[in-house]
Amino acid sequence: MKVDPEHRLVQILKEQKIDCVATLPCDKAQAFLALVTQNFSEIPLTREADGFGICAGLVLAGRRPAMLIQNTGLGNAVTDIASLFQVYQLPLPVLVSWRGVYKETIEVQKNLGQKIPALLQALGVPHTVVEREEDLPLVSSAIEDAYRHQTVHAILLSPRLWEGSSFSPTPNEIRRKHRENEHPQTVAVKSRREVTGDELTRYGAIKLIMGAADQQIVIGHTGIPSKELFAIRDRPLNFYMLGSLGLATPIGIGLSMGQEREVWVLDGDGALLLNPNALFSLRMFGRSNLTVFAIDNASWGSTGNQVTPTLDYFDLELLARSCGIRNTHKVRNAAELQEALQVRGDGPRFIHFITAPGNANVPNVPLSPPEIKERFLAALRD
């Protein structure tokens, strides 16, 4: 009996020991997406950047993820590929539903779709084109290449691949697994940001947090926050982000999903506003071994202390609670931090740390991205 290409591709992923798949939808790959939901630990995304961040965390935790996105998502993810996966030498096979070339009827898909191979070549990202069912064995080679050479490998799946397939799941079949995982809830609203005038700077907040750290994994987000973390308490279990602003929380999510050790993320107001989707992912995938410290000085500290909208318009704790995150706390000092750290609860913990603007005069992190990664991985193995 002939096996349709969707089921054959699922079998290939299983043979390659892919254990979770981060997904964004595409009309051309909708039948295959239904099988991903049924056969893998699926991570349904709201933005490509979150997927790359979560997959980076999963890779660091020793898992073997893949992604499935539409080719427009590659345009959205150029920075994440270049400044995270390539510089830290992290592997990820990315299955790409390749629109804009084969029998494309939507004009706006053509401009970027036709340029995808050239874009990948310019980025130095190896890619494999899968046009027909007889090309499917190439997927195995591409996945092996990604993990053997510690690289992103894009697998371009032409709509031609699915032609002639008889597999057509119903909407109820597609939604069945998601309904099993529904967790409806209501979340109480707390007060907004209040400034007392005696707040610590971010450096002081990180010093308090690291004073309470023991064997936790700690993710320092991009720029001066990682430099301050290094100056305050360098340790192999610190993962210093040198690029990919906005992905600290997604990386922490992936690490919390992929292993049991406690994970602390030192994130910031600018980074979370740049990628508020991280809070959606935190609600959906964050586990009880994950704490996000949203260190909020209402400024873009690494670029000259320009004001962020948390000064006047947004309260990050309220934003987190509106996303369904229940275990939230607002702190300004050592006593409030200690109280918040004593509350574990279910699901991820979100600690909104109000601080004053200002940066400490600290040097750059004197480690290359591969050195940061290798030292970190060795510490995880201990």
Domain CATH code at residue 170: 3.40.50.970
> Which stretch of 140-144, 214-218, 281-285, 312-316 has the lowest confidence by average pLDDT?
312-316
Contacts of range 298-305, beta carbons closer than 8 Å, 24 or more positions apart: 298/269, 298/357, 299/269, 299/270, 299/357, 300/270, 301/202, 301/223, 301/224, 301/225, 301/268, 301/270, 301/357, 301/358, 301/359, 302/222, 302/223, 302/224, 302/225, 302/359, 303/223, 305/357, 305/358, 305/359
Same domain, 208 and 139: no
Whether 360 maps to a domain, the answer reads yes
How is the beta sheet containing 217-220 ordered, strand by strand?
238-240, 217-220, 263-268, 290-296, 349-354, 327-331
* High-pLDDT (> 70) share of the chain, %: 93
Rounded Cα distance, 143 and 92, in Å? 8
Same domain, 140 and 272: no
pLDDT, tens digit, for every residue of 91-112? 999 999 999 999 888 898 999 9
Confidence of residue 131 (pLDDT cuts 50, 70, 90): very high
Same domain, 47 and 83: yes
| 267-271: average pLDDT | 94
Same domain, 78 and 133: yes
Instruction: Out of 133, 148, 180, pick the residue that ends a domain.
Output: 180
Same domain, 40 and 167: yes
* Better pLDDT: 268 or 177: 268
Give the domain range for residue 126. Answer: 5-180
Same domain, 243 and 170: no
pLDDT at 340: 96
Rounded Cα distance, 298 and 310, in Å? 5
pLDDT at 13: 98
Whether 189 maps to a domain, the answer reads no
Rounded Cα distance, 303 and 295, in Å? 16
pLDDT for 78 beyond 60: yes
Confidence of residue 179 (pLDDT cuts 50, 70, 90): very low
Same domain, 90 and 121: yes
pLDDT at 343: 87
Whether 194 maps to a domain, the answer reads no
| 254-282: average pLDDT | 96
Same domain, 242 and 364: yes
Q: Which helix (H) or strand (E) holds 80?
A: helix 78-80
| 197-214: average pLDDT | 92
Domain count, the chain: 2
pLDDT at 188: 56
Average pLDDT over the chain, rounded to whole? 91
Same domain, 160 and 68: yes
Angle at 53 between CA 47 and CA 54, to 5 degrees: 90
